Amino acid sequence: MNLSKRALSMVFILSMIYFSPVFAQDKSNLIVVNTDLGKETISKNIYGHFAEHLGRCIYGGIYVGMDSDIPNTRGIRNDVITALKEIAPSVVRWPGGCFADTYHWKDGIGPQSQRPSIVNTHWGGVTEDNSFGTHEFLDFCELIGAEPYICANVGSGTVQEAAEWVEYVNSDVKSPMTELRRKNGREKPWNVKYWAVGNESWGCGGNMTPDYYADLFKRYSTFMGTGRPYRVASGGTDPDFAWTETVLKKTQKSPNLIQGYSFHYYTFCHGWNDKSSATQFNENDWFHTMKNTLIMEERLEKHIAIMDEYDSKNRIGLIADEWGNWFWVEPGTNPGFLYQQNTVRDAVTAALYLNIFNNHARRVKMANIAQFVNVLQAMILTKDDMIIKTPTFYVFKMYKIHHDATLLPINVTCDDYSYEGMTLPSISACASKDKEGAIHISLCNIDMNKGRSVEIDLRGTDKLSKSSGELITSAKENDYNDFGQPEKVNIEKFSSFNVKNNILKVNLPAKSVVTIELKK
């Protein structure tokens, strides 16, 4: 009998030794959420979008014209309107992008049959008829319930052209521009708040130096004042900290002219010239996509540090008005149209980006994913009269609960996702509290293969008992939604968690995005 007890004890000890690395690894995934220390608001504008005249984003994607057999409202696709309302889009940036600095807004107003055409020299060299212009864009924004964000032409335009555009859409005082607007069918102004003064002025927007652009920005901004607009200066490339310092320094004495500063970052799988397929990828591609997405946080924080130095009162918002995954176009499509599919990998990186933006809500006041429809990391893909909702669409739908909620301070300690001697933190998270007091915690596990057991300590709140959960994942990392096929990736009910004494324990699947709601 004693031998049997000793044998059983030895088996127990050996099993503990054998499995201890697993237990230790799980116990290292600890998250602390301070539910009573939230101060910053996560602006709903972080969940903004970008609609450029690029490929089939506008024509065929958003706009089909009033004579189309595809059901539409004043030329705008009804199926796209209905779908976009599901994600509560907050703000839409238009008309570009690189296209903005070739666009002359007066060509896109008045009777459509009388509008001159334009060659889209940046994207595919196609001819556009300008049937989608200022009125159509602002109508689209009203139909989907989003605020417009217009990018003015600084590269090839004039100060007068930009000033008159602001006056045309914002002024209610009798003037040639307001009379022109009324002649074109709009009595009241739209009162557009957000205006970008040029786009990527370091490159396609004019190949300028930061000193030259900063002076030009002040000049344009001086005359774009109708309606007290929120004017956004063009940033440099994502690692160009000198551009940020120059613009912030040279506008210090003119604080009334600048309200926002633009920041662009794209995730390339292996680099600009080696982007890899959007759907046919291996773990090496997956890992480097996650790695390059996480680099964005480091770049973002360095720009924020410079902004803090020159804008200590946190008056100027950082506007991340282009971000997302950039892969090779789908085979057989126009390379200039940037049409790519959207998989579980895109869902996970979208959650990574949004968690980072949310956690920097003190400075980040807007972000616009590239792009809305049929381009890059799109919400929706269209084909004739059909549409599909992408995995990224479902992340935006899941994260609606963070719109204008209070950011909760969060500390994440997690184990690593390891691949061929390289490591990345396996878990990303953010948390917020809405106006009704409900707490929402969003998590993503970037490990393609292994799930994680996570313990979350909810501090500073009364006992939480009511809970629900949502999950985005799929059987394969390259699963996507396709035309004429049942959806493979969407939002599922998630119940692999429990909360007791304000300790939330979650079994987080591999390659997944999860949001849990907790109420008293």
Report, as residue numbers or ranges, the catalytic residues.
200, 322
Contact at 8 Å (CB) between 307 and 363?
yes
Cα separation values, 184 from 135, 209, 224, 227, Å: 9, 39, 22, 20
Angle at 501 between CA 495 and CA 504, to 5 degrees: 35
β-bridge mates for residue 323, sequence order = 265, 369
216 token code pair: 């030009």
Cβ contacts of 368 within 8 Å, gap of 6 or more: 48, 49, 50, 91, 92, 93, 149, 319, 320, 321, 322, 323
Contact at 8 Å (CB) between 89 and 47?
yes
Angle subtended by helix axes 159-170 and 210-223, to nearest 10: 40
Q: Which of 215, 252, 253, 255 is nearest to 234 (CA)?
A: 215
226 token code pair: 């109708």
Contact at 8 Å (CB) between 234 and 218?
no
β-bridge mates for residue 34, sequence order = 459
- Report DSSP state, residue 341: -
Contact at 8 Å (CB) between 223 and 188?
no
N- to C-terminal Cα separation, the chain: 52
Using CA atoms, how far apart are residues 265 and 279, in angstroms rounded to an integer? Answer: 21
